[in-house]
Structure 1
């Protein structure tokens, strides 16, 4: 009796189902990812879609940096160049006035710091700036005006409380009053916008030297003028300037439309 022929197995013809299922899973994952990042920035979303498209079509993804990264590097380099120029400019002023050792200039992450020992600006327990050093602050004000950056002026003291005949009861009031005095002089010197400045007193909470000797204490008694760039404060200042310009334009607009007089009181 003849043997029956075995039927051919059809399993091999269904192998397409496995990669097809994988493809559907990947497609589902893609849509879930797109939904999850639906609130992302449009530029970032476009970059993401481009990368996914390149991956599915097996095209090599470019290794060059995205435009946003390149732009960020350019902005950072520009800020560093600005810091360097400001530092060099102030150092020239210090050298011209023969104040080396009494005034220090350094680049810091937040911008440029100008550190002035307090005894060259003030007499003990006084907030009145000495006339012989007003030229220094006036020259610094010119640099601030050209840089057009927000400025934070800090007052610092040593850990010895003010003497009994001092009108300021503690180093907090004294350091804050000296910072405010410097801010006032800088504003009036070059007619700078007040919104550019912040004055703060730290008393003896941020020493740069031990308060165990007269040399250390003299180093801690200082004024620091910080020109700020590349931080939120710079953006806040720019927004203030824009707002003030808009408000100013609104106030003077009636002058252009009608009576020839401004509503400004």
Structure 2
């Protein structure tokens, strides 16, 4: 073998190892061409771009700025619009009358006057009953509270009824007569609700269940107001809820006693 052939045999393996760079360079070139074509195809719609730009400029150039005499976003001075020629402004009126009327100075509507009058009546009712309870030491028998729906007067069943009965006791008349005198001139609705504990009615009772007993107890008080005190029936409503709305724990005697009650609520509700 000649000396040239030996030299060529030694050089060929190194040349084969570097040929991958040619393929890599071709790949990079093709990727560059691809992205150039993609960019050329993604030119924005100049017509739509101009429409959007003009719309934004018109919006920012409007003269109805919040600040009188300020400058807009694009630097134009904001001025107050000039009123039409056919509208005459009286400088005397503008100097003496404010542009915005204070709500506190607005005259009350007839409905608002009625509500305010009713709130005064309810507050007086609350104070009168509270004082009556204190004067007669009835704190353990009568409870009064000012609730969102109205003035709530809770009467314990201990001085209203015998156990398991709905007929009023004789000593219940004075407090009910006092309440009737306070309800007589109220322009609202009085709701009477009967409640019991969860102990079932005995087999010897004349009432079927606690639903009937609670309703009959509420009705007995309503009858007293209508028949004995001659109050207007249009201002009353009654219902019995049995043991569905407890205020105490029915697992204890004290809780059951608290649940056996009649609630009389003077509602925050104007009569039509």
TM-score (norm 2): 0.59
The match for 2:102 among 17, 40, 64 is 64
2:206 counterpart residue number: 167
The match for 1:87 among 126, 129, 132 is 126
2:186 counterpart residue number: 147
| Higher radius of gyration, 1 or 2 | 2
1:192 counterpart residue number: 231
Alpha-carbon deviation of 1:196? 1.2
Q: In the alignment, is the contact (CA less than 8 A) between 1:210 and 1:216 conserved in 2? A: yes
CA distance in 2, matches of 1:121, 1:164: 22
2:219 counterpart of 1:180: yes
CA distance in 2, matches of 1:151, 1:139: 15
Map of 1:95-244 to 2, 5 A cutoff?
Answer: 95-229=134-268, 234-235=269-270, 238-239=271-272
Moved more, 199-208 or 187-196: 187-196
**Residue by residue, what CA displacement relative to the aligned partner does 1:156-180 show, whole Å, maximum 9, x if unpaired?**
0011111111111211000001000
CA distance in 2, matches of 1:175, 1:68: 48
Alignment: residue pair count: 182
Q: In the alignment, is the contact (CA less than 8 A) between 1:93 and 1:139 conserved in 2? A: no
SS at match of 2:241: strand
Alpha-carbon deviation of 1:212? 1.2
Alpha-carbon deviation of 1:150? 1.2
Alpha-carbon deviation of 1:148? 3.8
* Counterparts in 2 of 1:163 and 1:111: CA distance versus 1, 3 Å: same
CA distance in 2, matches of 1:226, 1:181: 16
SS at match of 2:262: strand
CA distance in 1, matches of 2:106, 2:229: 38
**Residue by residue, what CA displacement relative to the aligned partner does 1:177-215 show, whole Å, maximum 9, x if unpaired?**
100010000112321111111110010111111111000
CA distance in 1, matches of 2:232, 2:163: 30
Alpha-carbon deviation of 1:147? 2.3
- In structure 2, stretches of 5+ residues that fail to align are 1-57, 64-96
Alpha-carbon deviation of 1:68? 6.5
CA distance in 1, matches of 2:125, 2:240: 24
* Counterparts in 2 of 1:194 and 1:75: CA distance versus 1, 3 Å: closer
CA distance in 2, matches of 1:156, 1:119: 13
